[in-house]
Amino acid sequence: DEPKIDNSTQEPMNCTNHTAYVQCLPAPNITCRDHLGIEKVFTGREVGFYKPIECRNVNGYSYKVAVALSLFLGWLGADRFYLGYPALGKL
């Protein structure tokens, strides 16, 4: 499955430490054995495991606001100030 995306940040909702976990559903009739040796046959509807994917930690900043600031006031460094990088904004 695809991760649930936060519309304001354009990143997965459960992104922490640059990692989000996506549900993986094994195909029907796939048999897996866990670390205890117990076999499980999947139907294609249940979660087999969670796959880690890389994401950006955006700390609640709005993607749309950052892009708008970059496009219209980027020459002033407004986007850098907004994102919490004042030293880069002063350059």
pLDDT at 74 over 90: no
Domain range list for the chain: 14-57
Rounded to the nearest 5°, which phi and psi values hold at 83? -80, 0
Of all residues in the chain, the percent with pLDDT exceeding 70 is 88
Give pLDDT, residue 41: 92
Mean pLDDT of 65-87: 85
Give pLDDT, residue 71: 93
Q: How many Å is the maximal CA-CA distance in the chain?
A: 61
Give pLDDT tens digits for 43-70. Answer: 988 988 888 988 876 666 777 888 899 8
pLDDT at 79 over 80: yes
Asked whether the whole model's pTM tops 0.85, one would answer no
List the helix and strand counts (H, then E) for the chain: 3, 6
Residue type, 6: D
